[in-house]
């Protein structure tokens, strides 16, 4: 009673856990360090890509140097506040922060759980490091296409009429078909194809654009994707590649007069300030892939494979609804700030039929199999005239 041993901390319990984390957080707050970090991060609000790179780097490095409890106490509130100020949802930011801290603990060369795992397994640190290489990855279909072309068919303009059609086609047969091809030819296990904030729309600062004729000669920012450029040129635009980090300034200074991104991205990045006219053309659907190396998947025990497949199935069943809800929430922020124009049916046919020329670029680059693309289109109602247009220009 009252002896030194009576209050000895359990083995492995670090001073900064609970007891030390709060005083240290208080000290940093008093010194203004945490507020300075928050202000510095928020300074990148017009460059969301750079913000996310720095944001994730801080989380990963912090996770390597301290355990998750201490990091959540010391850095969690500051990082969450910065993320909310640049437009991320609190749920999304919280998940990124928690998972990022956990990943940091197993990241070589100094992750604290990395050392613990090596000791428990009685393996050399180098061997453990090799097996800690990225286990599950995610990438857009376009970026994945830099290595394998299996999923490029989904990037074709107007291949899907809307999100509901995309979900139905994927659930009915397309996901299973593409996963089989990926397994056999790419040696990758694709766990899910998920939407990323819906379809892209045309945003400009030149006034209301109703048909492709109105866009003719207008400079529009494009990515390096050959399909993106081909689609906008098929609509009459003059395409200008601009790095994402420079896009806001380029539109503001009228180096280019618009861009082609999702409504929610337009809202998130505050493009309404420089490109307030939005034409709801649709066209390019942006799927994301969740995948892993097939060899790693096959090395898992059967129960591990079944658990992963079940989790992936749950993701596929719910992700469209979640994505639509978040996209609607972000898009709502532009109400009253943006002039939206929804083309009439005949006008939308003009946008869709003009895109057939972009399909020819995809065909030349061997981004899709004709029979596969035709099956996807024919499984959706209301695209008959578009199919005829594609056949007319020999894209099908």
Ranges 14-18, 59-63, 69-73, 256-260: which has the least confidence: 14-18
Q: What are 328's two structure tokens?
A: 């609607």
129, pLDDT greater than 80: no
* Contact between residue 267 and residue 331 where contact means Cβ atoms under 8 Å apart: yes
pLDDT for 4 equals 38
Mean pLDDT, residues 186-215 taken together: 93
pLDDT for 17 equals 39
CATH architecture of 139-392: 3-Layer(aba) Sandwich (3.40)
Q: What are 142's two structure tokens?
A: 């376009």
Q: What is the mean pLDDT of the chain?
A: 84
More confident of the two residues 114 and 239: 239
146, pLDDT greater than 80: no
pLDDT for 64 equals 79
Mean pLDDT, residues 231-248 taken together: 92
More confident of the two residues 11 and 156: 156
Over the stretch 57-113, which tens digit does the pLDDT of each residue have? 888 888 877 778 888 888 888 898 888 888 887 787 888 888 888 888 877 666 777
- Bridge partners of 339, per DSSP, are 277
Mean pLDDT, residues 332-341 taken together: 87
233, pLDDT greater than 90: yes
Distances (CA, A) of 197 to 33, 43, 384: 35, 25, 26
* Contact between residue 34 and residue 28 where contact means Cβ atoms under 8 Å apart: yes
Q: Any idea what the Cα angle at residue 248 is, between residues 247 and 252, rounded to 5°? A: 115
Q: How far apart are CA 251 and CA 258, in angstroms?
A: 6
Mean pLDDT, residues 196-200 taken together: 88
Considering Cα of 339, then 343, then 347, then 349, what sign does the dihedral take? Answer: positive
Confidence of residue 278 (pLDDT cuts 50, 70, 90): very high
Confidence of residue 11 (pLDDT cuts 50, 70, 90): very low
pLDDT for 108 equals 66
More confident of the two residues 301 and 255: 255
Over the stretch 159-180, which tens digit does the pLDDT of each residue have? 999 999 999 999 999 999 999 9
Mean pLDDT, residues 268-283 taken together: 93
Over the stretch 22-36, which tens digit does the pLDDT of each residue have? 554 555 555 466 777
Distances (CA, A) of 314 to 192, 205, 255: 10, 41, 45
Q: Residue 350 burial (CB < 10 Å; 0-12/13-18/19+)? A: middle
3-class SS at 276?
coil
Q: How many CB atoms lie within 10 A of CB 191?
A: 21
* Contact between residue 217 and residue 233 where contact means Cβ atoms under 8 Å apart: no
pLDDT for 29 equals 53
More confident of the two residues 230 and 288: 230
Q: Residue 91 burial (CB < 10 Å; 0-12/13-18/19+)? A: exposed
Q: What is the pTM of this model?
A: 0.69
* Contact between residue 354 and residue 212 where contact means Cβ atoms under 8 Å apart: yes
Domain ranges for the chain, please list them: 13-128, 139-392
β-pairing verdict for 238-241 and 339-341: unpaired
188, pLDDT greater than 70: yes
Ranges 3-17, 279-293, 296-310: which has the least confidence: 3-17
pLDDT for 109 equals 65
pLDDT for 128 equals 66
Instruction: Name, of 43-47, 138-142, 147-151, 210-214, the range with top average pLDDT.
Output: 210-214
- Bridge partners of 259, per DSSP, are 203
């Amino acid at each position: 009673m009252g002896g030194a041993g009576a209050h000895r901390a359990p083995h492995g319990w670090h001073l900064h856990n609970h007891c030390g984390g709060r005083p240290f957080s208080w000290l940093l707050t008093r010194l203004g360090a945490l507020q300075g970090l928050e202000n510095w991060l928020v300074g990148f609000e017009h460059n969301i890509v750079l913000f996310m790179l720095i944001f994730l780097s801080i989380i990963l490095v912090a996770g390597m140097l301290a355990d998750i409890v201490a990091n959540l106490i010391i850095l969690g509130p500051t990082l969450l506040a910065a993320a909310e100020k640049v437009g991320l949802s609190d749920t999304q930011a919280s998940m990124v922060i928690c998972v990022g801290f956990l990943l940091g603990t197993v990241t070589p060369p100094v992750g604290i759980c990395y050392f613990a795992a090596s000791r428990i397994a009685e393996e050399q640190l180098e061997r453990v490091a090799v097996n800690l290489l990225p286990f599950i990855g995610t990438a857009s279909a376009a970026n994945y296409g830099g290595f394998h072309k299996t999923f490029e068919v989904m990037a074709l303009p107007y291949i899907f009429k809307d999100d509901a059609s995309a979900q139905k086609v994927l659930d009915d047969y397309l996901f299973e078909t593409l996963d089989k091809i990926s397994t056999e030819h790419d040696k990758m296990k694709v766990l899910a194809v998920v939407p990323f904030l819906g379809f892209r729309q045309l945003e400009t600062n030149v006034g209301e654009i109703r048909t492709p004729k109105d866009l003719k000669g207008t400079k529009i920012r494009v990515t390096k994707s050959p399909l993106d450029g081909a689609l906008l040129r098929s609509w009459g635009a003059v395409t200008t590649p601009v790095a994402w980090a420079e896009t806001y300034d380029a539109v503001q200074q009228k180096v280019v007069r618009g861009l082609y991104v999702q409504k929610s991205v337009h809202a998130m990045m505050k493009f309404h300030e420089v490109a307030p006219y939005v034409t709801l053309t649709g066209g390019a659907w942006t799927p994301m892939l969740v995948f892993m190396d097939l060899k790693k998947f096959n090395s898992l025990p059967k129960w591990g494979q079944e658990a992963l497949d079940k989790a992936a199935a749950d993701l596929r069943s719910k992700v469209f609804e979640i994505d639509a809800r978040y996209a609607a929430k972000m898009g709502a922020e532009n109400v009253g700030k943006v002039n939206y124009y929804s083309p009439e049916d005949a006008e939308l046919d003009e946008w869709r039929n003009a895109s057939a020329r972009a399909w020819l670029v995809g065909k030349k680059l061997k981004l899709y199999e004709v029979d596969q693309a035709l099956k996807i289109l024919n499984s959706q109602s209301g695209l008959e005239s578009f199919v005829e247009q594609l056949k007319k220009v020999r894209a099908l």
